């Protein structure tokens, strides 16, 4: 870590502050920290900013303006702060202190090298909810016959599970110690090749599960959704994924008054806002992956563990047009950092080529979170119009008849032109 200060705080603008009940005080010129991101981050992040600025200007004139503040992580941070400074302290502090931020993707090497900076940021700030809405926009090409039937919101637990990165390489001191402990003290005889096994640990807690499932059920209540599905592989991983399911059901009953249907485990609660039923159900992950393709209309809010949520995010995104149009947010009760589902797509980096739709929709989620609903609505409407005009990036153009392929920045300009 370094005491270096490289963040330039905009002269104008104020911090967003958070009340005890998690509501926000948003000034008319909020300072929003942003991380450009590695790879295609350099392409999509400027487009996102341009579209968000245009929507804010269109919706509120001179009355409101985002004061962007660049903060640094990933390769850019190492260029600015020095080698090995991948996630500077002041970057983490800014994401925490400014309450609302947005980031482009960051590279994580496979196998060796640094651990995920994306995961590190989530862990350091305990951004325990990864919220990824999956909705169909009219005109988007999809591999499904009826893509509009896919309308889900993923609540992915963001702080635990095998994703936490507690693992030891085969042959390392850590792996040897753990394997010795397991075999000698715990009587474990199931490690097939103990001499050459790497070892990963999968922590899943009651608290971690409950806070995630609570958010998912509250979301279903607030947004008039018909069901919450707990997705787990609890038949095999009984005390982690199975416990996630059991703790989830217990929470629904204890805190939301859900009652079992036909002896359970499914249960049902009455939405206090609408009087309608919300069904709490569960599905084993492998079966769920086929259900979302075969019967997507049966599912709405999804609450799941970290790794399942990662896999499901990309699979569900594909059903409604792919990860070029898949936004998300990492959230705690006081901090929200908006982040696309996709990664750095290195082969396209710097080519002004990829779809900026995910980042644009991240900005839309961010504006809605700030209560700037009119600007958020404008983004959704103009994005839809842009897609329907068939002026789209390569990912959509290759699947659409009669489309005109435009660049990443070109697509941003089409979206802005649709605001008129
Ligand atoms: N939150 C984050 O910062 C994340 C970071 N990553 C990191 O990103 C790096 C690359 O990961 P990788 O597995 O290649 O996954 P990516 O999501 O970066 O890319 C996979 C494929 O998805 C398509 N794609 C991705 N982004 C877009 C876009 N904006 N518009 C259109 N299509 C898009 C492309 O498909 P096609 O080839 O068909 O054109 C691309 O080749 C890794 O280091 C990974 O760890 C990954 C996910 C999230
Ligand atoms: O951190 C990474 O590099 C990958 C993360 C990821 O795929 C995700 O969070 O969806
Ligand atoms: Mg992922």
133-171 tens-digit pLDDT: 999 999 999 999 999 999 999 999 999 999 999 999 999
Pocket-forming residues, ligand 2, beta carbon under 6 Å:
108, 116, 118-119, 310, 313, 341, 343
Q: Is the pLDDT confidence value at 4 over 90?
A: no
233, 246, 282, 353: the catalytic one is 233
Q: What is the mean pLDDT of residues 358-369?
A: 98
CB 412 within 8 A of CB 358: no
Strands (E), 285-328: 301-304
Using an 8 Å Cβ cutoff, are 219 and 155 in contact?
yes
Element spanning 285, H or E = helix 285-294
Residue 1 scores a pLDDT above 60: no
Q: Which two tokens stand for residue 9?
A: 């705080």
Q: Average pLDDT, stretch 50-61? A: 98
Please confirm, yes or no, whether 219 is among the known catalytic residues.
no
Percent of the chain, pLDDT > 90?
Answer: 98
The 3-class SS string of 204-253 reads CCHHHHHHHHHHHHHHHHHCCCCEEEEEECCCCCHHHHHHHHHHHHHHHH
- Tell me the CA–centroid distance for residue 60 and ligand 2, in Å: 35
Please provide the average confidence, as pLDDT, over all residues in the chain: 97
Alpha carbons 342 and 326: distance in angstroms, whole number: 7
Express each pLDDT in 365-390 by its tens digit.
999 999 999 999 999 999 999 999 99
Instruction: Using the mean position of ligand 3's atoms as its centre, give its distance from the Cα of residue 306 in Å.
Output: 10
CB atoms within 10 A of CB 113: 8
The percentage of the chain sitting over the pLDDT mark of 70, rounded to a whole number, equals: 99
CB of 408 within 8 A of CB of 388?
Answer: no
Distance (angstroms) between ligand 1 centre and the Cα of 39 equals: 9
CA-closest residue to ligand 2 atom 7: 310
Residue 2's pLDDT is: 44
pLDDT tier at 112, thresholds 50, 70, 90: confident
The verdict on whether 233 is a catalytic residue reads: yes
- Note the pLDDT tens digit of each residue in 307-321: 999 999 999 999 999
The DSSP bridge pattern shows strands 301-304 and 227-232 to be: parallel
Could you tell me if 78 and 84 are in contact, meaning their C-beta atoms sit under 8 angstroms apart? yes
Q: Residue 103: pLDDT above 50?
A: yes
For tokens 């300009």, the residue is 413
CB of 145 closer than 8 Å to CB of 292: no
Closest ligand (CA of 120): 2
Q: What is the mean pLDDT of residues 394-415?
A: 97
**CB half-sphere exposure, 124, CA atoms < 13 A:** 17
Q: In the predicted model, is pLDDT for residue 3 greater than 70?
A: no
Question: Band of the pLDDT at 107, cuts 50, 70, 90?
Answer: very high
Phi, psi of 84, deg, nearest 5: 70, 5
* Predicted-complex ipTM score: 0.99
- C-alpha torsion angle, residues 129, 134, 135, 139 (rounded to 10): 140
How confident is residue 16, by pLDDT bands cut at 50, 70 and 90?
A: very high
Question: 162: helix, coil or strand?
Answer: helix
Instruction: Output b/e per residue, 344-364; b: 16+ Cβ within 10 A.
Output: bbeebbeebbbbbbbbbbbbb
pLDDT at 343 over 50: yes
Residue of 46, 120, 123, 344 best suited for mutating to test ligand 1, as the one with most atoms within 8 Å of CB: 344
Section 79-84 average pLDDT: 96
Which residues approach ligand 1 with their CB closer than 6 A?
Answer: 40, 44, 105-108, 118, 322-324, 339, 342-346, 354-355, 358, 395
Task: Kindly report, residue by residue over 226-282, the tens digit of the pLDDT.
Answer: 999 999 999 999 999 999 999 999 999 999 999 999 999 999 999 999 999 999 999
* Mean pLDDT confidence for 104-129: 95
């Amino acid at each position: 870590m370094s005491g270096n200060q490289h963040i330039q705080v905009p002269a104008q603008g104020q911090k967003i502050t958070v009340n005890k009940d998690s509501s926000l005080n948003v000034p008319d010129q909020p300072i929003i920290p942003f991380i450009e991101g590695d790879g295609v981050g350099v392409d999509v992040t400027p487009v996102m900013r341009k579209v968000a600025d245009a929507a804010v200007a269109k919706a509120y004139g001179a009355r409101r303006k985002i004061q962007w503040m660049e903060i640094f992580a990933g390769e850019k941070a190492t260029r600015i702060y020095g080698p090995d400074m991948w996630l500077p302290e002041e970057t983490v502090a800014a994401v925490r202190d400014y309450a609302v931020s947005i980031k482009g993707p960051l590279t994580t090497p496979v196998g060796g090298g640094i651990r995920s900076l994306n995961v590190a940021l989530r862990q350091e700030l305990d951004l325990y909810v990864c919220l990824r809405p999956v909705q169909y926009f009219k005109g988007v090409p999809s591999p499904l016959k009826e893509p509009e039937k896919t309308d889900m919101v993923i609540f992915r637990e963001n702080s635990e599970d095998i994703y936490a990165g507690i693992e030891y390489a085969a042959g390392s001191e850590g792996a040897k110690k753990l394997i010795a402990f397991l075999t000698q003290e715990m009587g474990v005889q199931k490690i097939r090749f103990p001499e050459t096994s790497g070892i990963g640990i999968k922590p899943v807690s009651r608290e971690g599960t409950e806070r995630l499932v609570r958010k998912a059920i509250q979301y279903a209540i607030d947004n008039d959704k018909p069901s919450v599905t707990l997705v787990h592989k609890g038949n095999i991983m009984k005390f982690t994924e199975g416990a996630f399911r059991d703790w989830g059901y217990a929470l629904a009953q204890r805190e939301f008054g859900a009652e079992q249907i036909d002896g359970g485990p499914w249960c049902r609660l009455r939405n206090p806002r609408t009087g309608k039923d919300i069904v709490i159900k569960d599905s084993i992950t492998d079966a769920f992956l086929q259900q979302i393709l075969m019967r997507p209309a049966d599912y709405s809010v999804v609450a799941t563990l970290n790794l399942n949520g990662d896999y499901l995010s990309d699979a569900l995104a594909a059903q409604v047009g792919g990860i070029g149009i898949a936004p998300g947010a990492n959230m705690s009760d006081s901090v929200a950092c908006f982040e696309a589902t996709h990664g750095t797509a290195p082969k396209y980096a710097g080519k002004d080529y990829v779809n900026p739709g995910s980042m644009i929709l991240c900005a839309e989620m961010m504006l809605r979170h700030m209560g700037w609903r009119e600007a958020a609505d404008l983004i959704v409407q103009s994005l839809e119009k842009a897609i329907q005009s068939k002026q789209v990036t390569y990912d959509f153009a290759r699947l659409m008849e009669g489309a005109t392929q435009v660049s990443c920045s070109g697509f941003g300009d089409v979206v802005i032109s649709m605001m008129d």
